[in-house]
Structure 1
Amino acid sequence: MAMNGTDLLILVNTGTPEVPAYSVVGSQRDAKLDEATATVDVSSKDSRAQRVLPGRYSSTLTLDALYVPDDAAYQALQNANRDGELILVAREENEIVIETALAKIDTMSSSYPDQGESTISITFTIDGFWTEVGS
């Protein structure tokens, strides 16, 4: 069955690495998860056909939200970005955390238009694989 996008939220660890405490990034508007596998070309001169193998897996996550400066999750993201640290992120569907991953913040942008809502946009590169909760 199809799912409404509002049923998926991105959370970040506002606890410790040993005892994670996940907080929803406040006022989310959009989230996008990309997963890819690079191609390793193993073609040779004896055939015109291209031969390939799956290469490295990669994943990126983008998040757009309203700017809420006192949001605990926003503060954790800002600190991780400024300190150059990985941050633990989680995907939640229908109020259940389903996957977690360590992530590097690539960009963290803010927009403050005149007579408009202030927003943030964050792009992450996932370190390694997503881990299913309970696995």
Structure 2
Amino acid sequence: MNKKIMTTALMAIFLTAGSAAFADNDKHNNGKGHHSHDRGHDDDRHHGHGKKDKHSHHHDNGRHNGRGAGPQHNYYKGGYVSREYRQRQYVVNDWRGRHLHAPPRGYQWVQTGPDYVLISISNGLIAQIVLSN
């Protein structure tokens, strides 16, 4: 009986110690969650790795130095474009000529000032941003 109690107590101690070690490891990621093992990168805002295409558009989903798309730089991924930019004259039909990828079904490219924004046709939700210099 004592042997069974001792074995159970030791197992509980080992399991608790292992959990504590994992919990302590989370303190070192500065609140970044389990995705902080990025080998020296601050976060994921540098998707383009400093490379630009031949028209100097940044493909970083609108997070280039905190600047948004559009004339007032106020359009960001996850936001919505105003009704003005959902009108026909802003739709980019020649997306190949502008070195943009094909819009998925239900989406279209619109030009907001010098920038391009991929939006949902149904509600104007911004899926991607391509900033110009």
Structure whose CA Rg is larger: 2
Identify, as 1 or 2, the structure richer in helix.
2
Identify, as 1 or 2, the structure richer in strand.
1
Fold-level match, TM-score > 0.5?
no
TM-score of the two chains, using structure 2 as the length reference: 0.27
